[in-house]
Amino acid sequence: MQDAITALINVSDIQGKYLDNNSLEKLQHYFHSGDMRSRAATTVSANAKTSSPKQSQNLYFTQILLVLVAICILVVVMQLA
């Protein structure tokens, strides 16, 4: 399963072009919704009585990692533009 950022970049990569304005807007939306996704992951982690503590922690940190990777990609894309 691909995250939203990888899927977006792969489309442009397959087409052999840089991200267009529409793609950049989708990335911005993804970044702006990061706090909501992080809260959701925290809620799921806190309420998942059947999950092990390690699984809950992995879910939370995966979301944080995805946001950090997305920010790095956006910085690179903005420098190329």
State residue 1's pLDDT score.
44
Q: What is the DSSP letter of 16?
A: T
- How many other C-beta atoms can be found within 10 angstroms of the C-beta atom of residue 15? 9
In this predicted structure, the answer to whether residue 60 has a pLDDT above a threshold of 70 is yes
pLDDT digits (tens, 9 = 90+) for 13-54: 888 888 888 888 888 888 888 888 888 888 877 776 666 677
Q: Give the separation between CA 26 and CA 53, rounded to whole angstroms.
A: 33
- How many other C-beta atoms can be found within 10 angstroms of the C-beta atom of residue 27? 21
Report yes or no: 41 and 59 within 8 Å, Cβ to Cβ. Answer: yes
Residue with tokens 């489309």: 11
